[in-house]
Structure 1
Amino acid sequence: MSVTAILNEKGRQVTTIDPGAVVRDAVRLLHENRIGAVVIVDADDSIAGILTERDVVAAMDRFGADCLNMPISAVMWSKVHSCTENMSINDIMEIMNNMRARHLPVEKNGRLVGIVSIGDAVRHHIRAIENEAEQIKAYISGHDGAVVHL
């Protein structure tokens, strides 16, 4: 299963914000949309960064409540780990694990086309394992439901 399958099921809408906005604006988007990350995009929809709940907590620790009035660019993660639509779920799970990233923006031709979360990846991975188990059970019991005797 690929990233395309995830995006086709969940949709391609991504909550984004301009890099010149302040952290308070991003926090509002996180809360209102009940999401864990907002992608920062420039004027041509290129990914400039990502801001997660963890980044906000780190900024609060470093700067106190004053961080809410700071530009997002001062606290966002600019070295964004991303993926492409043709990557497999195993590929993105490996990136997420190695980079300790819970969200991966999806890029196509340098532009943002979606986002996948660790929850999306785990959900689809479990579904694939369940489907494989059902296929094995069907094979063992015979393709037409009859029990195979050895």
Structure 2
Amino acid sequence: MLVRQILKTKSPELISVTPDQTVVEVLRLFRDNNIGFVVVSRSPGECLGTLSERDCCYAVAEYGIEAPTMRVADIMNRSVVTCSTQDLLPFVMSLMTDRRTRHVLVMDGDASVGVVSIGNVVKHRLDELLRTEQALSDYIAGTPYH
């Protein structure tokens, strides 16, 4: 399965924050949108870095009570893990494993166009396995193909 096929099943909106926003503002955005990852940018499609729930937790562990009022630019991840819309799911899975990340930013040229999360990967792999199981069951039972 291609990354672009996964993106078609998701909301097209890529939520981003500016480098000047505070950590607590981002955490509220996470809560209000039921997400755990944002792109840091100043304009649509741009990517200066990313910020995840994990990055925020590390900031609290490092800076204590100062963390909530810190700027995103001070704690964002500048080493962004990316893939393209044409990459295959196993490649994205290997990126997540090798780079120990739960989110991969999807790029179309120089523009960020979406995010693939570990949850997206699990859902699509599970769907594939269920389709395979059904096809094998139909084959064993002699059910005609559709």
TM-score by length of 1: 0.88
Letter in 2 for 1:28: R
The alpha carbon displacement at 1:104 in A equals 1.1
CA distance in 2, matches of 1:38, 1:29: 9
The alpha carbon displacement at 1:143 in A equals 5.4
| Alignment correspondent of 1:148 | none
CA distance in 1, matches of 2:91, 2:144: 35
| Alignment correspondent of 1:59 | 59
How do residues 38-57 of structure 1 correspond to structure 2 at under 5 angstroms?
38-43=38-43, 45-57=45-57
The alpha carbon displacement at 1:14 in A equals 1.6
Letter in 1 for 2:26: A
| Alignment correspondent of 1:81 | 81
**Structure 1 ranges of 4+ moved more than 6 A:** none
The alpha carbon displacement at 1:72 in A equals 0.6
1:29/1:38 contact within 8 Å kept: no
Give aligned-pair identity as a percent.
29
**Unaligned 5+ runs, structure 1:** 146-150
Q: Say yes or no: does 1:32 pair with 2:62.
A: no
TM-score by length of 2: 0.91
The alpha carbon displacement at 1:136 in A equals 2.5
**Unaligned 5+ runs, structure 2:** none
Find the residue that maps to 1:83 and give its secondary structure: strand
CA distance in 2, matches of 1:15, 1:43: 12
1:14/1:115 contact within 8 Å kept: yes
For the aligned residue pairs, the C-alpha RMSD in angstroms reads 1.6
The alpha carbon displacement at 1:38 in A equals 1.3
How do residues 1-150 of structure 1 correspond to structure 2 at under 5 angstroms?
1-43=1-43, 45-142=45-142, 144=144
